[in-house]
Amino acid sequence: MAASPDVALALPAAPAWARIATWTIAVLIALVVPAILVVNGFRVLATDTFVEWELGRDGFPPDLYGFTTEQRTALAKLGLRSIEPGSEGIVLLERARLSNGTPAFEDRELRHMQDVRSLFGVALRAQIVALIAIAVLGLALWRTRLRSAVPAGLFAGALATVGIAVLAVPLILLGFDEFFTRFHEVFFSGNSWRFSSADTLIRIYPEQFWVDVSRIAAGLAVAQAIVLGALSWWWLRRARPKDAP
């Protein structure tokens, strides 16, 4: 027989502090799970394999100013290298030249990519810290009254991820420009992220690229959430009291 929520989350005779602590830990974990899953998706998409597939696939809009697919892909992959932690960074873009010998990226583009590199690095580091913290909590609490806190938080986070995706995907599909603008206004200052269609960054990462990235990232997050939900539900049942009905 399945355990009731009260039984699953804390021992029936658990003191108030244990119930409060259990719910607090579960809520904190649930809040970070969607971000963890989204960052996982970006780890998959920020790869040469995806860039080569995306820019080379049938139906992807060609560059209006003359880049071949090979030139576009090479610069796009260089852009990825420049934001990776541990790489040479933006100096890679500073060295890049177009076929006529002029710099491939202007100063504003370089500054924006430096901002992207910083943001991406923070996201990757924060994800690792969150994963380690969840793992440590799971091990530390396993034989205590709070042992259901971690699986409950993971399960709630998985449900939250699916819920966010259900609400966000229609907005992305129907109003991508608005979504894209709001995202950049939150994470970047002023108009530092706005470029003309003739700028290299827009030519190698056009709007269709970001539409596809958003769709695939949402799909990957939901797929992970489904797996995580199933595993955390199993863990949550294992964490219930042995004498529970």
Q: Is residue 1 part of a domain?
A: no
Q: Is the pLDDT of residue 221 over 70?
A: yes
Average pLDDT over residues 110-117: 95
Q: Is residue 17 part of a domain?
A: no
Q: Is residue 13 part of a domain?
A: no
Q: Is the pLDDT of residue 45 over 70?
A: yes
Taking Cα atoms as reference points, which of 116, 95, 107, 104 lies closest to residue 65?
A: 104
Other C-beta atoms closer than 10 Å to the C-beta of 212 total 16
Question: How many structural domains does the chain have?
Answer: 1
For the ranges 17-21, 69-73, 155-159, the lowest mean pLDDT is seen at 17-21
Res. 49 pLDDT band, cuts 50 70 90: very high
27: left (phi over 0), alpha (psi -120 to 50) or beta: alpha
Q: How far is CA 144 from the centre of its chain?
A: 32
Q: Is the pLDDT of residue 244 over 60?
A: no
Taking Cα atoms as reference points, which of 157, 170, 127 lies closest to residue 235?
A: 157
Q: Is residue 3 part of a domain?
A: no
Q: Which domain holds residue 198?
A: 23-239
Q: Is residue 201 part of a domain?
A: yes
Looking at the DSSP bridge assignments, the partners of residue 97 are 103
Q: Is residue 9 part of a domain?
A: no
Q: Is residue 2 part of a domain?
A: no
What's the pTM?
Answer: 0.85
Q: Who's near 89: CB < 8 A, 6+ residues apart? A: 82, 114, 117
Q: Is the pLDDT of residue 39 over 90?
A: yes
Res. 172 pLDDT band, cuts 50 70 90: confident
pLDDT at 192: 83
Instruction: Give me the chain's average pLDDT, please.
Output: 89
Res. 8 pLDDT band, cuts 50 70 90: very low
Q: Is residue 7 part of a domain?
A: no
pLDDT in tens, 116-138: 999 999 999 999 999 999 999 99
